């Protein structure tokens, strides 16, 4: 289940806290985003349609909660990126991340640290 750009915005707030009302989501979206209330409703309707969120009525008001998990969404997005841009494999993607010269020294340093930690963990298992 692939999400569109705007759907990610909505899901990102929803994953942070749910169940949530459309109004609540509206309030918790990043300030740069100035969507009309109905825009959010539309997106929530589409997401419900797709089965990525579940809607339940509490009186007149709808409560929404994610069905698709953040992890699942990330997996799909990464897989799709890998397919498109890295010949389907995560290896080359990983390579690219580690070697892209456009990363600043400190960004690279950070990645390496993360990786070293995760690598240790990986070995332990």
Which residues make up the interface to its own copies (CB under 8 A)?
Answer: 5, 8, 71, 73-75, 77-78, 81, 84-86, 90-91, 93-100, 102-103, 107-108, 110-112, 114-116, 118-119, 121-123
Q: Where would I find the beta strands (DSSP E) of 1-125? A: 53-58, 61-66
37 binds, among DNA, its own copies, none (CB under 5 to 8 A by kind): DNA
Span 6-25, contacts to DNA by CB under 7 A: 6-7, 21-23
4 scored as a contact of DNA (CB under 7 A): yes
42 binds, among its own copies, DNA, none (CB under 5 to 8 A by kind): DNA
107 scored as a contact of DNA (CB under 7 A): no
54 scored as a contact of DNA (CB under 7 A): no
Stretch that binds DNA, among 60-68, 88-96, 99-107, 115-123 (CB under 7 A): 60-68
Q: Could you tell me which of 85, 84, 80, 116 has the C-alpha nearest to residue 98?
A: 116
List for the chain the helix, strand, coil content (%; round to 5). 65, 10, 25
Tokens of 118: 């995760």
- Residue 59 gets the label, from left (phi > 0), alpha (psi -120 to 50) or beta, of left
Strand, coil or helix: 59: coil
Give 53's strand partners.
Answer: 66
Which residues of the chain form contacts with DNA (CB under 7 A)? 2, 4-7, 21-23, 34-39, 41-43, 45, 59-62
């Amino acid at each position: 289940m692939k999400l569109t750009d705007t759907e990610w915005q909505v899901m990102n707030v929803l994953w942070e806290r749910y169940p949530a009302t459309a109004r609540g989501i509206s309030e918790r979206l990043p300030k740069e985003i100035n969507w009309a209330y109905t825009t959010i409703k539309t997106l929530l309707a589409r997401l419900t349609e797709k089965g990525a969120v579940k809607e339940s009525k509490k009186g007149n008001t709808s409560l929404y909660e994610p069905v698709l998990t953040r992890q699942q969404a990330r997996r799909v997005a990464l897989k799709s990126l890998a397919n498109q841009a890295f010949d389907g494999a995560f290896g080359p993607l990983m390579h690219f991340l580690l070697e892209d010269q456009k990363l600043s020294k400190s960004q690279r340093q950070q990645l390496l640290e993360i990786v070293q930690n995760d690598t240790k963990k990986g070995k332990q298992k």
